[in-house]
Structure 1
Amino acid sequence: MVQKTVIIIGAGPAGLTAAYLLSQKGIPVTVLEADPQYVGGISKTVTYKGFHFDIGGHRFFSKSKEVEDFWTEILPNDMLVRPRLSRIYYSGKFFSYPLKPFEALIKLGIFKSILCVISYFKYKLFPKKNPKNFEDWVTNQFGKRLFNIFFKTYTEKVWGMNCKDISADWAAQRIKGLSLLSAVLNAFKPKPKSREKMNGYYFRPWKTMLVRTINNGGKSFYIKGRHRDTIPSLWTSINE
């Protein structure tokens, strides 16, 4: 019996991950990609004058051990634990993100801080039932005032969407385990040590995954043109 080949459209994170996992199981797989130079979609790494730049660069983090183990397998020497510094500029002051409750309350001032604490306990005692969107979910975790001060504008600027249009399920996954109480407890925990890079060379994650997929027998094609046949309503692709 002839084994069928799996065709994957797009060499983005989802496509390349699926291709790699299929190739590990010996299943023939072919990835089709429109970009003639890079893979990785909106997470690709581009090279300019000898420097590597991550488009839409973001720190990698996951609360899934399976995901962390997967990337440690792909990039065993490049998964470095580094100190994180993210801040929100509000009312002329910088606030740490994720929030550090004591710092935030001090910088907000006594009056605003009291209102934030009251709002927090209000929604802990009377939470919104069956939160449907990002706003509902975060409000239940932090209170309405902290949501409006820190989460609303930041989230809408980053994602270009109203918080009411973002799923509560997405919020629960994205900010999993984060609440005002957990933020207070984390403030007293010792910080993990950083792992320094030794060899000075960075392996681009999605390019590495593509190479591993090809080494497992997978194939990759660049789609350089396409033509739409309006009668059967089908796309015909020209590849190389």
Structure 2
Amino acid sequence: MSTLRNGFNSIAILGGGPAGLATGWALEELGHTDYTIFEKSSVHGGNARTVRFGDFKYDTGPHRFHARHPEATRLVSGLLGPDLQEVNAPARIYWEGRFVDFPLRPLQILKSGGLGFAVKAATDLVTARIRSRNAAPPEDFQTYAYNWFGKTIAGTFLVPFSERLWGLPGPQLSPDIAGRRLPGFSVAGIIKETLFGSKKSDHLEGRFLYPRKGYGQISDKMAEKLSPGRLAYSQRIVGLETNRDRITSVSVKTGGEVRTVSPEAVISTLPITIIARMMDPQPPQEVLDAADKLQFRDVVLVALFIDQESISDAAVTYFQNPKYEFTRAHEPRNRSRDMSPQGKTSLVIEYPCFRTEDIWERDEKSIVDNLVRDLDQMGLIKGSRVFASDVHKMRDAYPVYSKGYKETSDIIKSYLSQFKNLWTLGRGGSFFYGHVHDFVTDGFSTAEGVRAYLNQPAGVGV
């Protein structure tokens, strides 16, 4: 083990995904260039990168940038300029051989299911709303979904899909997984659509911003803002040494060599579960137990390259039927024509899983063959037109919001907060299912906090 002098990187940023890159960019803006971003892979961007396959490009998920946060939009717009384009493409659900809009449009769902389904769904919805009016706030997602949408709609669409997506039964999931995706399906909504009709734009989050060269262009542009040599690849963090209320050293493995750096400040975007387990001395048992309880969902991505110009106009398609292992697909060219060569298209399909499941280790050819067969049988593609495929695996893609996850994650966060020179952010570092617009602003606020810490007089806060 070799030790590098402290000045090598007075600020160590762990992880070269969007949160880590944004923090490095922000430090540059503040005049701090004595930092190093340690990225374990050979590329930056984390789970929000764009993969190249011949003349094709595809993102590691159907990412989109919504202009909901003015500061993040200003920063990213400044980065990309005219390459940040507005896209208008709908989302949809494949349900029993047909497509319905997502988020759910009340009258469309009721009409598509037939008279019997419509009556049962409407009755369940009204009954659920009446019964839940004075009920205590639901403690699990299944109860939330039943209370809000009724058992017919919730049991057909929301609960089964969420169970496949998150890998846990509905009663074990937190209501927080609903996020902003489910509002809109209501008694009032049904009445409004019945009497006045409705435009798709009233329901679908189909209008968003997207980089011309793929979502990874955001990370690429942030990386260009860094001083030369500040982004170090193939650097795996294997240990953190602590002394009282400070991180005193970081152990980094490159190839077969482990070396240590002694930064003044550490900014981690790694999963908090990993950070807790690699600390020396070990955290209290309560913290380690909490790290064992929290889960992250992994994803197997399959990209199919197809000899036809287009499959649909949808930004993303969700698959409701539990018989399928995959949950959603997106066609990259519907976000930007630069993602596919002229006359051809691609389809990227997601298999959420845990690394302990069969799909993670399954033979790639078997995955692709079964997928092409299923999509062909659905009528979504012609299997004979698929001329190539690519499989990409993502570890710790997003945190699982199980019941009690807040209390459990707070145990770890509380422990980590005692270290005055440690900051955590990003999906893994905050155990928060956030997006790039969140991480860009978090990176800038974190950089401000680090600057304040480094600029305080000697002995203050130490």
TM-score of the two chains, using structure 1 as the length reference: 0.75
1:184-199 aligned at under 5 Å gives the runs: 188-189=198-199, 191=201
Task: State the distance in 2 between where 1:27 and 1:130 align.
Answer: 47
Contact 1:19–1:218 at 8 Å: present in 2 too? no
| Residues 58 and 189 (structure 1), Cα distance of their counterparts in 2 relative to 1, 3 Å cut | same
Which residue number corresponds to residue 79 of structure 2? 74
CA RMSD of aligned residues (A): 3.8
Task: State the distance in 1 between where 2:176 and 2:157 align.
Answer: 20
Task: State the distance in 2 between where 1:21 and 1:136 align.
Answer: 42
Which residue number corresponds to residue 231 of structure 2? 220
- Offset, 1:105: 0.7
Query: CA offsets per residue over residues 46-81 of structure 1, 9 Å max, x none?
Result: 112132211123333464444444433332323323
Identity, in percent, stands at 23
| Residues 151 and 47 (structure 1), Cα distance of their counterparts in 2 relative to 1, 3 Å cut | same
Contact 1:40–1:206 at 8 Å: present in 2 too? yes
- Offset, 1:120: 1.6
- Offset, 1:31: 1.2
1:40-55 aligned at under 5 Å gives the runs: 40-55=45-60
- Offset, 1:142: 2.0
Which residue number corresponds to residue 264 of structure 2? none
Q: Does 1:126 align with 2:131?
A: yes
Consecutive unaligned residues of structure 2, counting only runs of 5 or more, are 1-6, 241-248, 256-462
Contact 2:125–2:187 at 8 Å: present in 1 too? no
Three-state SS of the structure 2 residue aligned to 1:130 is: coil
More displaced stretch, 50-59 vs 95-104:
50-59
Task: State the distance in 1 between where 2:125 and 2:251 align.
Answer: 56
Contact 1:20–1:210 at 8 Å: present in 2 too? yes
Three-state SS of the structure 1 residue aligned to 2:87 is: coil
Letter in 2 for 1:54: D
Letter in 2 for 1:126: R
- Offset, 1:118: 1.8
Which residue number corresponds to residue 156 of structure 1? 163
Contact 1:43–1:57 at 8 Å: present in 2 too? no
Task: State the distance in 1 between where 2:188 and 2:25 align.
Answer: 36
Three-state SS of the structure 2 residue aligned to 1:7 is: strand
Letter in 1 for 2:21: L
Letter in 1 for 2:224: V
Q: How many residues align?
A: 229
Letter in 1 for 2:122: V
1:1-240 aligned at under 5 Å gives the runs: 5-28=10-33, 29-36=35-42, 38-61=43-66, 63-127=68-132, 128-171=135-178, 173-175=179-181, 177-180=183-186, 188-189=198-199, 191=201, 204-212=217-225, 214-215=226-227, 219-224=230-235, 236-239=251-254
TM-score of the two chains, using structure 2 as the length reference: 0.42
Letter in 2 for 1:144: K
- Offset, 1:45: 0.9
Query: CA offsets per residue over residues 159-195 of structure 1, 9 Å max, x none?
Result: 3333333322342x34275443686669635749979
Consecutive unaligned residues of structure 1, counting only runs of 5 or more, are none
Three-state SS of the structure 2 residue aligned to 1:188 is: coil
Contact 1:223–1:237 at 8 Å: present in 2 too? no
Task: State the distance in 1 between where 2:17 and 2:250 align.
Answer: 20
